[in-house]
Amino acid sequence: MSASKLKLGVLVSGRGTNLQAILDGCARGEIPAEVTVVISNRPGVPALDRAQKAGVPALTIPHARYGKWPECRAAYERDLVRSLTEWGVQLVVCAGYDRLAGETLLDAFRGRIINIHPSLLPSFPGLHAQADALAYGVKVTGATVFFVDESLDGGPIIAQDTVRVEEGDTVESLSARILEVEHRLLPLAITLIAQRRAVLEGRRVRILDKSGGAS
């Protein structure tokens, strides 16, 4: 592993298509980072197979074995943090990870956890963003990458991109187009962080151009 590349730990819970976009970008040299470990809180998900095929260590830490959620979150996250630390992770990437980060994880990786959400935050946070966008009647939605904090999808925004809502869209059709944007946006955000061009300043993230000035 290269000492100059940002070391990523990717948290997953499902199919792993965003994970695949990261793995592919790293393999092509487009993302100046490397995935050192992939951790799932759910056994047997396709994302773990994607990691193994790429030669990346794939671990399962099932949150369910710790007891009732969210009471068990601290115990679960202690083991999660231990594994991330053992693998030398510098940036935690939530890619289809279905648990809200708690105090234990946030304290260990404050300002070093990112997530992606299928809406233009702060609009439509939560689990049903695409359905909520359709129900509200917006003409444009999109995807957002943000630094994770204690709020629900409310952390400082790193990058956003738009998707037009078409007449006759369903949750499935809109979700598919947003997912295509996510596959570009998440690698972009990781690249900005790896290049130290995404500077977290309180509530805002300042994006520097390649010369180091604000873009």
**Cα 41–58–7 angle (5° rounding)?**
100
Q: For 107-118, what is each residue's pLDDT tens digit?
A: 999 999 999 999
Note the pLDDT of residue 210: 80
pTM of this structure: 0.95
Note the pLDDT of residue 1: 46
Q: For 175-214, what is each residue's pLDDT tens digit?
A: 999 999 999 999 999 999 999 999 999 999 999 998 766 6
Is 117 marked active-site? yes
Q: What is 1-110's CATH number? A: 3.40.50.170
- 8 Å CB contact between 129 and 174: no
Domains 1-110 and 117-215 belong to one CATH topology: yes
- 8 Å CB contact between 199 and 152: no
Rounded alpha-carbon distances, angstroms, from residue 6 to 30, 35, 88: 13, 8, 10
Residue 77: phi and psi, rounded to 5, are -70, -25
Is the link from the previous residue into 70 a cis peptide, with omega within 30 of 0?
Answer: yes
**Average pLDDT over every residue of 141-147:** 99
**Average pLDDT over every residue of 2-21:** 93
Rounded alpha-carbon distances, angstroms, from residue 102 to 16, 123, 152, 171, 213: 22, 22, 11, 29, 34
| From 63, 117, 128, 183, the catalytic residue | 117
Note the pLDDT of residue 16: 98
- 8 Å CB contact between 91 and 33: yes
pLDDT bin (cut points 50, 70, 90) of residue 215 is low
Tell me the pLDDT of the chain averaged across its residues. Answer: 96
**Average pLDDT over every residue of 3-28:** 96
**Average pLDDT over every residue of 126-132:** 98
Residue 3 has pLDDT above 60, yes or no: no
Helix (H) or strand (E) holding 187: helix 171-194
* Structure-token pair, residue 197: 């061009």
Q: Would you list the domain boundaries of the chain?
A: 1-110, 117-215
Report, at the CATH architecture level, how domain 117-215 is classified: 3-Layer(aba) Sandwich (3.40)
Note the pLDDT of residue 204: 97
**Cα 155–156–160 angle (5° rounding)?**
105
Q: For 35-51, what is each residue's pLDDT tens digit?
A: 999 999 999 999 999 99
**Average pLDDT over every residue of 107-132:** 98
β pairing state of 140-147 and 113-117: antiparallel
Helix (H) or strand (E) holding 163: strand 157-164
